[in-house]
A and B are shown apart, each in its own frame.
Chain A
Amino acid sequence: MNSLSLKDRFRFSRFFRGEKPVDGPIELNQRRIFILPSAPGFGFVILIFLLLLISFVYNNNLAYLLTFLLASIFFVTILHSYQSLSGLVLQQGHSAPVFAGEDAAFEVLIYNQTATARTQVQLSLESTLSLDMAPFSNSQVRLQTRTSQRGWHYANTITCFSFYPLGLFRAWSPLRFNLKTLVYPKPWQYPLPLPQTLSGAAISGNTKRGVDDFAGVQTYYPGASIKSIHWKAFAKQQGLLVKQYSGTQGSELWLDYEETSGSVEDRLSQLCRWVLDAEQQGLIYGLTVPGIRLPPDHGKTHQLKCLEALALF
């Protein structure tokens, strides 16, 4: 780990927001872990002073002894609090894209490559979840966060913290990963018929592959649908051929930004709905938004490409 400059070291945000976002794994060590008494911890300090007063007033050595024992326990607990987090390694995982308004889940991997078992390590982003870790074990947690806007959604500071063992101290480590997830526009929630677009014909040129009229055969190309393989020709040992259809103009669907109405976000929502519907109905569709033109195609990859284009528009 590279060293921090003195100015950065005492930057206030380091204690709560964390250091600059990183890609790689972060090991929790003395630089990352902060410890302060919790509310019950401050209560415990008051208790110690009260007991000290009682011992003093009654000049009672055993009461002193108990007071000192509790004070020592308080002190020793600082080290145990540190031990509850130190040596853990956290790493960012994958995060699946979601539609705006859904919960995005950031995956975080935690490795405990030490002989110390960890009890109730808590991770919080928007909500908090806790886990126990056996010695030499790994875990994977998914931190949920609400999304409202399409586009890249960056994870905030993830705080890894623990009150273990006595709850007198909160040991915490604010972590920032380059953790982002793609948020697609929220699909239009009202019924919306697919556009009967004709405009595509003029623009699309010669790539009019459809499913209606048989137009001929072509040698196999990766990604061709299994249904379109010319099995009879294959049986006749003519090689793997793919049947070509020329679709009617109506069946070649163009999802055009210009054909939607409303605000930008509304339009993108509507397009999103169309993409989902078109894919579900097995249509071949292209997408046109200002500045982006995705030629008609179908399949999961195509759909994701379209959704990504909408998300980042």
Chain B
Amino acid sequence: MDVLANRTLFVFLLTAIGLIALPHSNHLPSPLVIFFFIILIWRFIGIWYQRWLPGKILLYALTFTGLALLYQQHLGWLGRDPGTSLFMTALSLKLMEVKRQRDIYLIAYLAFIVAASQFLYEQSMFMAAYIVFVCSVLLAAMVMINSRHANIKASLKKAMTILMQALPLTLIIFVFFPRVEAPRWLLFEDPNRAMTGLKDSMEPGSISDLGLSDELAFRVKFTGTIPPVASLYWRGPVFSYTDGKRWTQGRHQGSGMTPSVSEFNGDVYRYTLLMEPQDKPWVYALDMPSEFSDELFQNADYQMLTRKAPDKRSEYQLTSSLLYNTGQLQEDEWVKNTQMPGAASPKIRRLIADLQSGTLSTEQFVGNIMRHFREERFSYTLRPPLMENNPVETFLFETRTGFCSHYAAAFVYLMRAANVPARVVTGYQGGTLNEVGGFLEIRQADAHAWAEVWIKGRGWVRYDPTAAVAPERIDQTSYFQQQFGYELAQLVPRRNLQGSFEWLKTTRELWRSLDYSWQRWVINYHSANQLKFLASLGISGLNKMIYWLIAGIAVFTAVLSGYLFRQRQKPKDKALQLYARFCKKMAATGLVIRAGEGPQDYAGRIKSVSPELAGPVDRITGLFIRYRYGKKPSGKDLSLLKAAISELRIKKGYSVKGKSRSHF
């Protein structure tokens, strides 16, 4: 078929491309997205009005516009965002210039790249299913190019068949293909892209889904012993001002003020901190740093800052003590850390009165709050519901579910409402020990938020309300358990559920467990996990991995080709099967049906050679023709045919050839 003039094909292809590019509109600069879709719609119109398509000069102008937009929006070419935009723009421009069949293939391939780049932004199960669906549409377009008629249904069916048959092989390769971590220099990081890392504000109610990135934040190498995991709090930005929803660092925060720590106690830990590139000058020191190298300085909230450019990987020497006393609180510090967005509601005041009753010290009050969290069925989740209005109250009395920021914010709010100075500290908690290198790796997923309360005589004291709810968040060392352990805790069905919505909850729990598996087995199936998983199957080492990969591919090929071949051998047509049996019987006489010989011609030939077979042969041929070519094939004819063929007896040793030869 004339591929270039086929409208169905173009409608199909352009729809597929539109579907592929659609999710990109979320994260690419809108001028580029608009440019893309204008060209796509233009091309759509061009299917019916060929002359409206741009000429040579206009095409050059479009190309120039596209490149200029790209440059203006990204100020560079390398990296995830500019790369994706580049491919999108190239795809759209190529759409305008389809002269040969080759161009259509190029468009399809560019579309595959754009589809793959989608995964650099989102890795949910839905996105994966969506992309696979869209790719099958693209494949169907490719099938269409190679068919004589643009038959959408047949093309889709063929594409789906191929896709389904390819899936088992995909899984084999996915499991066994050795994952090697890319060296850092290969990551063409875009300097203008917002890097992941902690933010300079916190708004727990507005986040309904905390991203779990296993991207490395920094590494720490201790010169001596490593402190217990539960005490590994890496201090980041401190938030002391809140408007009720949002927590920020506050106005007086500045580098000019010299923080004071009156005394350090206990063991001293010396370590080297290797920060990954980030966009803020924050250095995450172990609480509480006592000595540090010259390029670092500490702000009034004891947060470490660097004078070096933060977008390069850099190394710092620090010394910290786990026990410390920050001493007295200044007057303005007191004011700053008891700031409230407004008067607390009666409900909160009642709760505070409850928790405060009978307590003699701040420590006892804190203990009561922690017990409240623990005993009042608060739960930890990474996917809390949105709490747009009055997040603290909603969290404390209604949803009672959230992650570290929710707990830290609510805790600090309660303390302040009771006129105790308190603030939120963010940073990282824990870390994974890299046993080969002997250093700790702290990843973005280790991000955490906790609280500090000022207590007379002890200074700022750290309290972690999350630990009260999900102690495993703090204690356990395994990276995966840390990431997902609390999610698993959620999966255990609760026995005392009430109401008729139980099935809904079950569904939700099922979904969570599915999502967990997805995260665990697909998204995070990186080198370490692959090695661990394969080792549990007894496959260790790169060599064995490759042997298994090859063996898997071989087995798959054998099974699939066996399936395809068997399918070809077996005619679905029952009448034809029966007729084949008849031919086989007749072949014993020496009269083999010739290729292309019709049943009637064959029957004629048999009769001319051995007239005594005329009766049964005529009957069989007649029935076969009536059943297979007649207007209304009846099952009765089929059974008659079957019977007639079974009854046909060819005498042993009877050979037409031998008989005819005897004449000569």
A residues contacting B by CB (< 8 A) are: 25, 39-40, 43-44, 47, 50-51, 54-73, 75-77, 79-80, 83, 86-87, 89, 91, 109, 111, 113-116, 119-120, 130-132, 135-136, 138, 163-167
B549-565 CB mask vs A (1 if < 8 Å, else 0) is 00001000100110010
Centre residue among A70, A71, A72 by max chain B CB count within 10 A: A72
* B contact residues around A79 at 8 Å (CB): 557, 560-561, 564
Residue of chain B at shortest CB distance from A83? B564
* A contact residues around B595 at 8 Å (CB): 25, 89, 91, 109, 111
Whether B568 pairs with A77 at a CB distance below 8 angstroms is: no
What are 7 of the A-B contact pairs (CB < 8 Å)? Answer: A43-B106, A63-B116, A75-B557, A79-B561, A83-B564, A165-B142, A167-B146
Question: How far is A47 from B115 in the complex, measured between Cα atoms in Å?
Answer: 12
Whether B116 pairs with A51 at a CB distance below 8 angstroms is: yes
Would you call B163 an interface residue if the criterion is a C-beta within 8 Å of the partner chain's C-beta atoms? yes
Contact of A65 among B128, B526, B571, B573 (CB under 8 A): B128
Whether B526 pairs with A58 at a CB distance below 8 angstroms is: no
Whether A66 pairs with B116 at a CB distance below 8 angstroms is: yes
* A contact residues around B607 at 8 Å (CB): none
Whether B169 pairs with A72 at a CB distance below 8 angstroms is: yes
Question: How far is A144 from B208 in the complex, measured between Cα atoms in Å?
Answer: 70
Contact of A167 among B105, B115, B162 (CB under 8 A): B105
Question: How far is A76 from B524 in the complex, measured between Cα atoms in Å?
Answer: 27
Whether A109 pairs with B596 at a CB distance below 8 angstroms is: yes
Whether B147 pairs with A119 at a CB distance below 8 angstroms is: yes
Question: Can you add 6 more A-B contacts, CB < 8 Å, to A131-B148, A136-B571, A138-B596?
Answer: A61-B526, A76-B165, A91-B595, A115-B572, A119-B148, A166-B146
Whether A47 pairs with B113 at a CB distance below 8 angstroms is: yes
Contact of A58 among B106, B120, B131 (CB under 8 A): B120
Would you call B511 an interface residue if the criterion is a C-beta within 8 Å of the partner chain's C-beta atoms? no
* B contact residues around A113 at 8 Å (CB): 571
Question: How far is A51 from B170 in the complex, measured between Cα atoms in Å?
Answer: 14
Whether B113 pairs with A76 at a CB distance below 8 angstroms is: no
State how many angstroms separate the Cβ of B412 from the closest Cβ of chain A: 37
Whether B123 pairs with A62 at a CB distance below 8 angstroms is: yes
State how many angstroms separate the Cβ of B320 from the closest Cβ of chain A: 31
Contact of B524 among A61, A111, A120, A136 (CB under 8 A): A61
* B contact residues around A138 at 8 Å (CB): 596
Question: How far is A87 from B188 in the complex, measured between Cα atoms in Å?
Answer: 51
Whether A40 pairs with B102 at a CB distance below 8 angstroms is: yes
Whether B162 pairs with A69 at a CB distance below 8 angstroms is: no
Contact of B109 among A43, A69, A76, A109 (CB under 8 A): A43
Question: How far is A69 from B167 in the complex, measured between Cα atoms in Å?
Answer: 7
Known A89-B595, A109-B596, A167-B142; judge A62-B188 contact (CB<8 A). Answer: no
Would you call B433 an interface residue if the criterion is a C-beta within 8 Å of the partner chain's C-beta atoms? no
Whether B162 pairs with A73 at a CB distance below 8 angstroms is: yes
Residue of chain B at shortest CB distance from A121? B148
Known A56-B182, A165-B162; judge A115-B573 contact (CB<8 A). Answer: yes
Whether A56 pairs with B119 at a CB distance below 8 angstroms is: no
* A contact residues around B146 at 8 Å (CB): 119-120, 163-167
B521-564 CB mask vs A (1 if < 8 Å, else 0) is 01111100000000000000000000000000100010011001
Whether B142 pairs with A166 at a CB distance below 8 angstroms is: yes
Known A61-B523, A111-B595, A120-B146; judge A69-B135 contact (CB<8 A). Answer: yes
Contact of A47 among B109, B132, B561, B573 (CB under 8 A): B109
State how many angstroms separate the Cβ of B152 from the closest Cβ of chain A: 14
B105-149 CB mask vs A (1 if < 8 Å, else 0) is 110010011011101100100011001100100010011011111
Centre residue among A61, A114, A131 by max chain B CB count within 10 A: A61
Known A62-B119, A165-B146; judge A70-B112 contact (CB<8 A). Answer: yes
Residue of chain B at shortest CB distance from A39? B102
Question: How far is A164 from B149 in the complex, measured between Cα atoms in Å?
Answer: 12
Whether B596 pairs with A111 at a CB distance below 8 angstroms is: yes
Known A64-B174, A64-B177; judge A115-B139 contact (CB<8 A). Answer: no
Whether B573 pairs with A136 at a CB distance below 8 angstroms is: yes
* A contact residues around B109 at 8 Å (CB): 43-44, 47
Would you call B158 an interface residue if the criterion is a C-beta within 8 Å of the partner chain's C-beta atoms? yes
Question: How far is A163 from B522 in the complex, measured between Cα atoms in Å?
Answer: 34
Would you call B166 an interface residue if the criterion is a C-beta within 8 Å of the partner chain's C-beta atoms? yes
* A contact residues around B116 at 8 Å (CB): 51, 54-55, 63, 66-67
Question: How far is A198 from B361 in the complex, measured between Cα atoms in Å?
Answer: 147
Whether B568 pairs with A59 at a CB distance below 8 angstroms is: no
Whether B568 pairs with A116 at a CB distance below 8 angstroms is: yes
Would you call B436 an interface residue if the criterion is a C-beta within 8 Å of the partner chain's C-beta atoms? no
Question: How far is A255 from B334 in the complex, measured between Cα atoms in Å?
Answer: 131
Would you call B648 an interface residue if the criterion is a C-beta within 8 Å of the partner chain's C-beta atoms? no
Whether A62 pairs with B166 at a CB distance below 8 angstroms is: no
Whether A65 pairs with B522 at a CB distance below 8 angstroms is: yes
State how many angstroms separate the Cβ of B577 from the closest Cβ of chain A: 10
* A contact residues around B106 at 8 Å (CB): 43
Would you call B51 an interface residue if the criterion is a C-beta within 8 Å of the partner chain's C-beta atoms? no
* B contact residues around A66 at 8 Å (CB): 112, 115-116, 119, 131-132, 135
Whether A65 pairs with B143 at a CB distance below 8 angstroms is: no
Known A62-B119, A115-B571, A164-B146; judge A72-B113 contact (CB<8 A). Answer: no
Would you call B567 an interface residue if the criterion is a C-beta within 8 Å of the partner chain's C-beta atoms? yes
* B contact residues around A61 at 8 Å (CB): 123, 174, 522-526
Residue of chain A at shortest CB distance from B3? A167
Question: How far is A60 from B553 in the complex, measured between Cα atoms in Å?
Answer: 23
* A contact residues around B166 at 8 Å (CB): 69, 72-73, 75-76
Would you call B187 an interface residue if the criterion is a C-beta within 8 Å of the partner chain's C-beta atoms? yes
State how many angstroms separate the Cβ of A105 from the closest Cβ of chain B: 18
Question: How far is A163 from B148 in the complex, measured between Cα atoms in Å?
Answer: 11
Q: Which B residues from 153 to 194 make CB contacts under 8 A with A? A: 154, 158-159, 162-163, 165-167, 169-170, 173-174, 177, 179-182, 186-188
State how many angstroms separate the Cβ of A26 from the closest Cβ of chain B: 10
Question: How far is A270 from B119 in the complex, measured between Cα atoms in Å?
Answer: 77
Question: How far is A116 from B161 in the complex, measured between Cα atoms in Å?
Answer: 14
Contact of A83 among B142, B182, B568 (CB under 8 A): B568
Known A51-B113, A60-B120, A73-B162; judge A164-B147 contact (CB<8 A). Answer: yes
Would you call B576 an interface residue if the criterion is a C-beta within 8 Å of the partner chain's C-beta atoms? yes
Would you call B280 an interface residue if the criterion is a C-beta within 8 Å of the partner chain's C-beta atoms? no
* B contact residues around A69 at 8 Å (CB): 132, 135, 163, 166-167, 170
